[in-house]
């Protein structure tokens, strides 16, 4: 009698969510899907603000770490695919960049990955003696300061008011844009590959843009045509979603909502921390709105700055997990679904939080528990996801902080984006 081979697909046994739900911690990463990194030194405090994934699957996270005596420095850590620290990066997997100001506080709010593997850290430095500036640093592929950039691998840029960069962008030609605030005004600077200011942008490489109302920058994105979209909280309070679009020269783009500035009111107090540009030129911004509670909020815009009526309700969408939800970063998946990474606060316990949405703005209830994944990274106190990145076709990587005993550390968590299945094969005579 011929042998017949029967093949069955079954849901894998063990700690796996229900069959119809996507999303779980990846057990092949770190300790059950979680990695916590304490930087070298005497009980240093550290927190990650951003994460990028290298083409080979390794990842780099950046943020801030306390210095031995006083102040803080920019910090970066690079990880192997397994979640272990990469020993080829600064010998122990971690790197620190301090700035030559006494008792200063520096940190990276964003990290950029150059095509050659170098990392650009974008943020600020606050010196009691000299003031508050944009700050950038570049690290070589082995984690050392890149002496071809700025002064010994780092630079600062002064603006009229206290300044800090919250977002960085890498142009195809290698130039770097940093965006943030100078006081309550929008501020931006563009740098050549070596860190010098690019005189073709703004005034001598930088610009300060006063708007009719205060504008707290949350994020920025670069369109394929070189235009720059900047989002944040707009208004004196309560706040609205605010969008500003600049031409490649740094001038305001008058074709965007008539004057270069668009605002959106959800009927509450809103703040936005993330923006992405879709392939067709539409824009999606992610943030949160606060009424009696704080919920995630999304808005999609057409290329001209008007709300897209095919998204959510009149261009707007919200989602409530039953607790406070804070949005930190929005990304698009290859299947056009949207994922928000952030954190939630319920009964004084803060945890990582992910949410997934369909392309039309509806919450994707097949993800985690009714559209959300909440993760207690390791403490009953403050666990905050600050960044999220696609780590492979079916993997999501998050980074932020965990606070065991009140002293925060870098924290990463990796998730499978689809329900795992096991292929079972047996033969019947």
pLDDT tens digits, 388-398: 999 988 899 99
Examine the pLDDT at 428 and tell me if it is beyond 60.
no
**What is the structure's pLDDT at 4?**
36
Q: 383 versus 68: which is more confidently predicted?
A: 383
When pLDDT is cut at 50, 70 and 90, the band that residue 249 belongs to is very high
The answer for residues whose C-beta is within 8 angstroms of residue 83's C-beta and 6 or more apart is 29, 30, 31, 35, 412, 414
Strand partners, 178: 168, 189
When pLDDT is cut at 50, 70 and 90, the band that residue 287 belongs to is very high
- The fraction of the chain above a pLDDT of 90, given in percent, is 81
C-alpha span between 331 and 63 (Å, rounded): 19
Lowest-confidence pick of 61-65, 67-71, 348-352: 67-71
Q: Dmax of the chain from CA atoms?
A: 88
**What is the structure's pLDDT at 70?**
78
**What is the structure's pLDDT at 392?**
86
Structure token digits, residue 178: 């940093």
**What is the structure's pLDDT at 123?**
98
CA torsion 272-273-278-280 (nearest 10°) is 40
**What is the structure's pLDDT at 418?**
64
Secondary structure of the chain as H, E, C letters = CCCEEEEEEEECCCCCCCCCCECEECCCCCECCEEEECCCCCCCCEEEEEEEECCCCCEEEEEEEECCCCCEEEEEEEECCCCCECCCCCCCCEEEECCCCCCEEEEEEEEEECCCCCEEEEEEEEECCCEEEEEEEEECCCCCECCCCCECCEEEECCCCCEEEEEEEECCCCCEEEEEEECCEEEEEEECCCCCECCCCCECCEEEECCCCCEEEEEEEECCCCCEEEEEEECCCCCEEEEEEECCCCCECCCCCCCCEEEECCCCEEEEEEEEECCCCCEEEEEEEECCCEEEEEEEECCCCCECCCCCECCEEEECCCCEEEEEEEEECCCCCEEEEEEEEECCEEEEEEEEECCCCCECCCECECCEEEECCCCCCEEEEEEEEEEECCEEEEEEEECHHHCCEEEEEEEECCCCEEEEEEEEC
**Phi and psi based region of residue 128 (left: phi greater than 0; alpha: psi -120 to 50; beta: remaining):** alpha
**What is the structure's pLDDT at 8?**
33
Q: What is the mean pLDDT of the chain?
A: 90
Lowest-confidence pick of 4-8, 111-115, 163-167, 319-323: 4-8
Span 89-125, pLDDT tens digits: 999 999 999 998 878 999 999 999 999 999 999 999 9
The answer for residues whose C-beta is within 8 angstroms of residue 216's C-beta and 6 or more apart is 181, 184, 232, 233, 239, 271
**What is the structure's pLDDT at 42?**
63
**What is the structure's pLDDT at 73?**
95
Q: 230 versus 423: which is more confidently predicted?
A: 230
**What is the structure's pLDDT at 417?**
75
Q: 70 versus 253: which is more confidently predicted?
A: 253
C-alpha span between 250 and 260 (Å, rounded): 12
**What is the structure's pLDDT at 429?**
32
CATH code of the region 4-428: 2.120.10.10
Span 141-199, pLDDT tens digits: 999 999 999 999 999 999 999 999 999 999 999 999 999 999 999 999 999 999 999 99
When pLDDT is cut at 50, 70 and 90, the band that residue 23 belongs to is confident
Examine the pLDDT at 370 and tell me if it is beyond 70.
yes
Examine the pLDDT at 406 and tell me if it is beyond 70.
no
């Amino acid at each position: 009698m011929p042998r017949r081979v029967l093949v069955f697909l079954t849901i894998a046994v063990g700690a796996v969510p229900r069959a119809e739900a996507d999303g779980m911690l990846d057990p092949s990463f770190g300790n059950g899907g979680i990695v916590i990194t304490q930087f070298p030194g005497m009980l240093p405090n550290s927190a990650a603000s951003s994460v990028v994934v290298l083409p080979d699957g390794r990842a780099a996270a950046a943020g801030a770490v306390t210095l031995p005596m006083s102040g803080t420095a920019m910090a970066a850590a690079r990880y192997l695919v397994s979640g272990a620290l990469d020993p080829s990066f600064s010998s122990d997997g971690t790197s620190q960049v301090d700035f030559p100001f006494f008792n200063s506080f520096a940190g990276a709010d964003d990290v950029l990955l150059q095509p050659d593997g170098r990392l650009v850290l974008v943020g600020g430095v606050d010196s009691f003696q000299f003031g508050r500036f944009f700050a950038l640093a570049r690290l070589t592929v082995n984690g050392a300061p890149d002496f071809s950039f700025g002064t010994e691998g780092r630079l600062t840029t002064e603006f009229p008011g206290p300044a800090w960069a919250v977002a960085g962008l890498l142009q195809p030609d290698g130039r770097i844009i940093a965006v943030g605030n100078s006081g309550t005004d929008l501020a931006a600077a563009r740098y050549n590959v070596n860190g010098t200011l690019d005189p073709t942008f703004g005034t001598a490489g930088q610009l300060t843009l006063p708007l009719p109302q205060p504008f707290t920058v949350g994020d920025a994105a670069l369109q394929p045509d070189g235009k720059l979209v900047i989002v944040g909280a707009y208004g004196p309070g309560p706040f609205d979603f605010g969008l500003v679009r600049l031409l490649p020269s740094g001038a305001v783009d008058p074709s965007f909502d008539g004057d270069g500035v668009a605002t959106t009111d959800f009927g509450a107090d809103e703040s936005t921390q993330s923006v992405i540009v879709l392939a067709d030129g539409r824009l999606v911004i992610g943030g949160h709105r606060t009424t009696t509670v704080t919920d995630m909020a999304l808005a999609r815009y057409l290329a001209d700055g008007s709300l897209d009526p095919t998204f959510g309700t009149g261009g707007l969408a919200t989602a409530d997990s039953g607790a406070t939800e804070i949005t930190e970063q929005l990304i698009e998946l290859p299947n056009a679904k949207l994922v928000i990474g952030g954190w939630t606060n319920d009964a004084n316990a803060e945890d990582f939080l992910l949410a997934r949405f369909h392309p039309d703005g509806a919450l994707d209830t097949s993800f985690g528990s009714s559209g959300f994944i909440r993760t207690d990274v390791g403490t009953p106190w403050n666990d905050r996801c600050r960044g999220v990145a696609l780590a492979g076709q079916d993997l999501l990587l998050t980074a932020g902080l965990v606070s065991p005993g009140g002293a925060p550390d870098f924290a990463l968590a990796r998730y499978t984006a689809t329900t795992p299945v096991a292929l079972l094969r047996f033969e019947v005579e």
